[in-house]
Structure 1
Amino acid sequence: MSVDAIEHLVGGLGTSILALAVVLLLLLVALACVVGIGLVMVPSTAKAVRLAAGRERIRLSRWGCDLPLPPAVPAGLRGVLHDPWVRREVAFVATHGTVGFGLGVVGLSLPMSAVQNLLFPLYYWALPPEAGGPGFINWRIDGFPDALMVGLIGVGWLAATVALGPRLARLQALPGRRLLAPPRDVDTSLRIAELTATRAAALDAHAVELRRIERSLHDGAQNRLVAVTVLLGAARRAMLRDPARAVEILDRAHDSAELALAELRSVVRGILPPVLDDRGLAAALDGLAAGCGVPCAVEVDVPGRCAASVEATAYFVVAEALTNVARHSCAASVAVTVRSSGDRLHVSIVDDGWGGADESHGSGIGGIRRRVQAHDGRFTLTSPPGGPTALLVELPCGS
């Protein structure tokens, strides 16, 4: 927990430094407005405020806080002054750039002081005795017992880090969670737009799945069954004239019927794999990893079962992602991690390939996004040129 808290504090300190710079810019613009010069700078300053707030939105979104993006900053001075989003973001940068910066500095000084004091008995001999110890320790260090006392103080700093780190991280994130949420008068309209988009994605995903099933049946099993009927007709006609020929044709019809059954089973497995229904998500993903052309490590930490539709979506996401890795990434390994946290199911697929994955190139990423959006989930793809590629999916799975 303390490691996560330190990571939160480091990220929050970075965004607070940006917010502090914007606060200084706001003060300069406010002073310039006294003489009228700063009025023309207000719209561009509002964009700087939006940039700082956007960085904090991205940071908090990585830690499970859903903060929708606001509309574009209004162009004119009047629009900026009457925009409720801008007012809340100005309050955020003022709070986060001061209080958040202070909390970040305090939060990071705790583990740094702990490390300095804990390691002091190992290097105290290299310092003059009158130099004292690290930090606020300014008494004379005459030998190992004094240095050991400094190390014991480091244990206290470590305990303070474990006890206070999570609380400081939560306090640092509080202004962003409160002030960067949508204003009350626009929250409902945003939610309606979001639900409309996810409903359209659900319908789109359903239509795509129906077309896939229809294409699989038409191109595979239906052609096999037509061939069976043709062969049976030929066998019936040849029964009296050439029984040996009829037996050969019946064997071919039998083979075609078996192929049709195999293709039908394949279509059914594509709708909902039996192993997913019988043995759960972990066993189904182990089967995908075993059949992947790239060495794949699977880690599943999901106590209990999620809804069947959620498990099927997670299975589809992993299956499509592993197919893309095997076909396009030239990766040497891929790691699949599935875990549940609260009422959310987190799916992560990370490979060490050459990156550059692009949803617009028809690699199946669009289908993954539609499936995830149909469940009101969250989809994130990070694939810089040279790799690695990380595909992160978050699905609601109930409590």
Structure 2
Amino acid sequence: MDTHRATRADATGPDPTRADAPGPTRPWDVFARGRTVLDAFDQLAGGLATAMLALVMLVWLTATALACLVGVGLPLVPVTLRGLRAVANRERARLSRWGPDIIAPEPGPQRLWAAVADPVVRREARWLVCHATAGLSLALTGLTLPFSAVTDATFPLWWRLVPPEDASPSPVPLWTVHDWPGAFAVCLLGLGWIAVIAGVAPGMAWLQAWPGRRLLPAAPGTDLTLRVAQLTATRAAALDAHATELRRIERSLHDGTQNRMVAVTVLLGAARRAVARDPSRADAILEQAQSAAEQALAELRGVVRSILPPVLADRSLTDALTGLAADSPVPCRIDADVPGRCAASVEATAYFVAAEALTNVARHSHAHNATITVRRHDGRLRLCVTDDGLGGADEHGGSGLVGIRRRTEAHDGTLVLTSPPGGPTTLEVDLPCGL
């Protein structure tokens, strides 16, 4: 989990609202507190969106239940259950962005009595009621009070511009202001409200997320089952990637180096016969044999470099990518910040991804420039290849992207391809650094 996510995850916990928590004493503590408050409002805003969906879904669920009582709502049950699961999954995804991942369960039952007996559906229904009521109230309160507080804090700037009967604090008009002391009292009240809201906002975000974190996780063992399935799939992908790499090496040696060596053997035999018959021609044949041997050696070195570049083993990933960019037909800029070394297999995979991506850029994108960005942070290696080409890259179009994905997933990594028509194309790969 990266630092950004860790900061956001902290905003969902109850710690920021503790009365005994020490106040910020250093400038960076103030900034961290401010970031926590902003993250809390961000969570409340996201929770407002899902709470509105939950409210709509609650009305639909209630209408379906009432219709079932009179026997006409049964055809609506499958659609309603799918809608309930979709809204709950939306909340699971939101909560996973701000803390530990919440694994979505398998598709649920589609029949009424099976759904009533399903504990997952019952928990989702309970969450729906809580989030559509309390979650919506917390979101509206948390997001509207800051505007009222700012309005009060700036009250002396505008109170003379409104009708006298409207010159009062918000959101509750406690008194009507008729003079400047009253206006500054409203200003002080607004400043106090801002401080209070900033202090309780993380707690409000935590309260809003609490029903979802308690009711929406899948049954125990689901996470382990999905993880086993994922590891089985990545293991199969690793074996496929290994077999593909062996076929590529075999094809390169057979079609290139082996043919060159056969040519050298033939030329040496011809030169040996020419020595007895026409010595002057033997020298030209030997020159051809030497040229063929040099070409075979160059191709063999290319195959070796494609397996594991020597510069990657001897120096660093940054140096290997710099050499790769120098050989690229499309001008390529390297932006790398990789302190230390990752596992050799991880660096080899990152190099393979960059090499394959630059090959695709040169062959298909018609780009004028490309950029490779590499970062290492919190035990993860992130590589991003961007070009300004025509876009429209298709993972299933035979451009090698399937091989990149398989090799990435074999390391338990992720690949995200963004390539709208017209460009630009961005290929992002995230890999664990390993030991």
Structure 1-normalised TM-score?
0.79
Residue equivalent to 1:342: 378
Residue equivalent to 2:55: 20
Contact 1:65 1:177 in 2 (8 A): no
Deviation string 1:121-173 (CA, Å, 9 cap, x unpaired) is: 99759944956699559775988xx79x9599679949965x77666666655
Within a 5 Å distance, the mapping from 1:244-259 to structure 2 comes to: 244-259=280-295
Residue equivalent to 1:195: 231
Structure 1 unaligned spans of 5+: none
Q: Which amino acid aligns with 1:342?
A: D
Contact 1:378 1:394 in 2 (8 A): yes
For residues 397 and 241 of structure 1, do their structure 2 counterparts lie closer, same or farther at Cα, with a shift above 3 Å needed? same
Within a 5 Å distance, the mapping from 1:101-250 to structure 2 comes to: 101-105=136-140, 108-109=143-144, 124=158, 127-128=161-162, 157=194, 176=212, 179-250=215-286
Instruction: From 278, 284, 289, give the equivalent of 2:314.
Output: 278
| Separation in 1, partners of 2:420, 2:295 | 43
Residue equivalent to 1:53: 88
Q: Which amino acid aligns with 1:225?
A: M
Residue equivalent to 1:308: 344
Per the TM alignment, residue 75 of structure 1 is displaced from its structure 2 partner at its CA by 3.3
Q: Which amino acid aligns with 2:248?
A: R
Contact 1:111 1:158 in 2 (8 A): no
Q: Whose Rg is larger?
A: 2
Within a 5 Å distance, the mapping from 1:89-100 to structure 2 comes to: 89-100=124-135
| Separation in 2, partners of 1:134, 1:318 | 60
Per the TM alignment, residue 228 of structure 1 is displaced from its structure 2 partner at its CA by 1.6
For residues 176 and 358 of structure 1, do their structure 2 counterparts lie closer, same or farther at Cα, with a shift above 3 Å needed? farther
Contact 1:133 1:141 in 2 (8 A): no
| Separation in 2, partners of 1:364, 1:70 | 33
Contact 1:114 1:158 in 2 (8 A): no
- 1:395 aligned counterpart, secondary structure: strand
Per the TM alignment, residue 23 of structure 1 is displaced from its structure 2 partner at its CA by 2.4
CA RMSD across the alignment: 4.1
- 1:393 aligned counterpart, secondary structure: strand
Contact 2:382 2:431 in 1 (8 A): yes
Q: Which amino acid aligns with 1:89?
A: E
Structure 2-normalised TM-score?
0.73
Is the aligned partner of 1:329 residue 2:382?
no
| Separation in 1, partners of 2:369, 2:194 | 40
Residue equivalent to 2:393: 357
Structure 2 unaligned spans of 5+: 1-6, 8-34
Per the TM alignment, residue 221 of structure 1 is displaced from its structure 2 partner at its CA by 1.3
Per the TM alignment, residue 111 of structure 1 is displaced from its structure 2 partner at its CA by 7.0
| Separation in 1, partners of 2:196, 2:310 | 50
Per the TM alignment, residue 333 of structure 1 is displaced from its structure 2 partner at its CA by 4.8
Identity fraction in percent: 56
Contact 1:379 1:392 in 2 (8 A): yes
Deviation string 1:308-340 (CA, Å, 9 cap, x unpaired) is: 212222222233233333433344554444334
Per the TM alignment, residue 270 of structure 1 is displaced from its structure 2 partner at its CA by 1.2
Per the TM alignment, residue 248 of structure 1 is displaced from its structure 2 partner at its CA by 2.0
| Separation in 2, partners of 1:296, 1:282 | 13
Per the TM alignment, residue 375 of structure 1 is displaced from its structure 2 partner at its CA by 1.7
- 1:363 aligned counterpart, secondary structure: coil
